[in-house]
Structure 1
Amino acid sequence: MAYKSLLTVVTDPATVTHTFAAAIALARREDAHLDVLCVGVDNSQVGYYYPGSVAVILQDEIERAEQDAATLADLVNTHLINEGLRWSSETAIAYLGAVSDLIAGRARYADLVILPKPYGKNASVYAEAVLEAALFQGQTPVLVVPTAGLPVALGNMTLGQEIVVAWNESSEALVAVRSALPLLCAAKHVTIAIIDPPTRSFERSDPGGALAQLLARHGVHAEVTVLAKTLPRVTDVLNRLIRDKAADLLVMGAYGHSRFREAVLGGATRDMLELAEIPVLMAR
């Protein structure tokens, strides 16, 4: 398996620089095609307007969304035209309530979606919806890039040299590991992190052993680290390990719950995305 079709979605000019640095680095490393979707969002809410003004307001919103998408496309072209990559860009506009369907439809035909961190001071107001659509509706793994961009070592950006895998025996975690195999196989070192393993489970006598064996058969040398939950949250323990290992990528399952038939990020997934200082590859 390899990543040959990458997708990134742009809704805010402020997120382009660091997200594109990761997308370009990965596309070059994997010899992949990079697709870029520039989305202008129509925020009009027809139900809140007087009937006489609806048509004018709707037209103004559509024109603004089209201009936003065109501006993003120009910015994308500036970033990619001289990079020597195989890439294409597309503009689209969508009503606020239809953004998820648009993203999911594109994400289904990508091997990996590269997106900015959805939380924080500079996060796009649409970033969380885009991430959830790609993960839950598009069923596509997502590489979430922090605001600081890729880690830097010896003056060069790095991705996946030192990887931590958050392992809890769940199907989501296993899907994430399989989705990350191209990166895991190229890593210098992989740590399988298990926090407070259950006493009654398939792996109770050898936590992480079956996963380490699976990875070893792909040529991945993985070390299993079992940790106690000595901090209030699992994510706090994981982040401490990430700092100790000087890791530059975290692989973990994406967890959520249904709210009005829409999957939303919950618990450890949201906590990790809020706190993560390195890229996180998530899948479900």
Structure 2
Amino acid sequence: MAYKSIVTFLGSEAELSATLPAALAFARDHQAHLTSYLLGVDMTPAGGFYMGASPILLQETLERAQHEAEALEVIARRLCEKHDLRWSTDSAVVQFGGLPAMVGLRARFSDLVIQTSPYGENALPTQEAALEAALFEGQAAVLVLPNKELPEDFGKRIVVAWNQSNEALSAVRRALPLLQAADHVSVAVVNPPVHSPERSDPGGLLTQMLARHGVRAEVSVLAKTMPRVSDVLMRHVRDIDASILVMGAYGHSRLREAILGGATRNVLENAKRAIFLAH
């Protein structure tokens, strides 16, 4: 397996500036085709236009979204033309409620979706919606990059968050090309359950599977010495100077994580390094 079809969804000039240069660099390194979808999103809520409202108002909001998408595509094309790789751009206009279906349809036919963090001071609601749509509607793997250029040693050291869940296993399988290219892979197990099937050898079966794919991984059993598992994982990422954390996404429901918090949400809100997610 290799990443040959990569897509990214960009809904603002700030998001484009933060995401596209790194996505281009990643696609070039993997000799992949990068498709950038430039989004003009009509944020009018469903039912926002009452019966008898002027159709001119509706037309204006759609035209504004169209102009925004086209302007973003011009910027994206100028940037892509400076790089020697296969690329394409496409502008799309969609109402916010229809964004998951549009993103999901395009993400499902890709090997990887590249986005930047959907949380932060200048983040837009469309960023969170696009990331979750790629994971759930598109069933795609998502690489969430930090808002900066990729370091020269990007991907050389990787941490895999392992809790025996289906989501974690899916993330590992989707991340195999990255793991095979890494110099060092650490499988992090936080407080392994005493009565789990892997209680005598946490992470052993996973490292055996990885070894057969040419990935030499070591297991790090970590105590939960901080309030949240996500804090322990991010500290381990910093301690070994890893550039990517591979983890399963949303083992709990999105609603529960939005209200009560969860490892996925906490990592996305606080991580300073790349996160590789799959559901």
Deviations 1:27-48 (A, max 9, x none): 1111111111111011234634
**Partner letter of residue 64 of structure 1?**
R
Contact residue 253 and residue 283 of structure 1 kept, 8 A: yes
Cα deviation, residue 202, structure 1: 1.6
Q: 1:23 to 1:258 in 2, by over 3 A?
A: closer
* Matched residue, 1:217: 212
Contact residue 3 and residue 30 of structure 1 kept, 8 A: yes
Q: Within the alignment, does 1:278 sit opposite 2:234 as a pair?
A: no
Q: 1:197 to 1:63 in 2, by over 3 A?
A: same
Cα deviation, residue 159, structure 1: 2.2
CA distance in 2, matches of 1:124, 1:45: 15
Contact residue 46 and residue 97 of structure 2 kept, 8 A: no
Deviations 1:118-145 (A, max 9, x none): 0001212210000000001110000001
Q: Within the alignment, does 1:197 sit opposite 2:192 as a pair?
A: yes
* Matched residue, 1:257: 253
Stretches of structure 2 that go unaligned for 5 or more consecutive residues are none
CA distance in 2, matches of 1:140, 1:46: 27
CA distance in 2, matches of 1:45, 1:220: 48
Contact residue 44 and residue 57 of structure 1 kept, 8 A: no
**Partner letter of residue 217 of structure 1?**
R
Deviations 1:198-232 (A, max 9, x none): 11112111000111111111111111000110000
Q: 1:182 to 1:264 in 2, by over 3 A?
A: farther
Q: Within the alignment, does 1:12 sit opposite 2:7 as a pair?
A: no
Aligned-partner SS, 2:148: coil
CA distance in 1, matches of 2:217, 2:159: 10
Q: Within the alignment, does 1:178 sit opposite 2:173 as a pair?
A: yes
Deviations 1:93-121 (A, max 9, x none): 01110000000000000000001100001
Counterpart mapping for 1:1-284 below 5 A: 1-45=1-45, 47-49=47-49, 51-150=51-150, 152=151, 156=152, 158-255=153-250, 256-257=252-253, 267-284=262-279
Cα deviation, residue 56, structure 1: 1.3
Q: 1:264 to 1:92 in 2, by over 3 A?
A: farther
**Partner letter of residue 204 of structure 2?**
G
How many correspondences in the alignment? 277
CA distance in 2, matches of 1:46, 1:230: 45
Aligned-partner SS, 2:133: helix
Aligned-partner SS, 2:272: coil
Contact residue 132 and residue 264 of structure 1 kept, 8 A: no
Contact residue 195 and residue 229 of structure 1 kept, 8 A: yes
Aligned-residue sequence identity (percent) comes to 50
CA distance in 2, matches of 1:55, 1:10: 28
Deviations 1:25-83 (A, max 9, x none): 22111111111111101123463445454301101101100001001101111210120
CA distance in 1, matches of 2:220, 2:254: 32
**Partner letter of residue 213 of structure 2?**
H
Cα deviation, residue 258, structure 1: 6.1
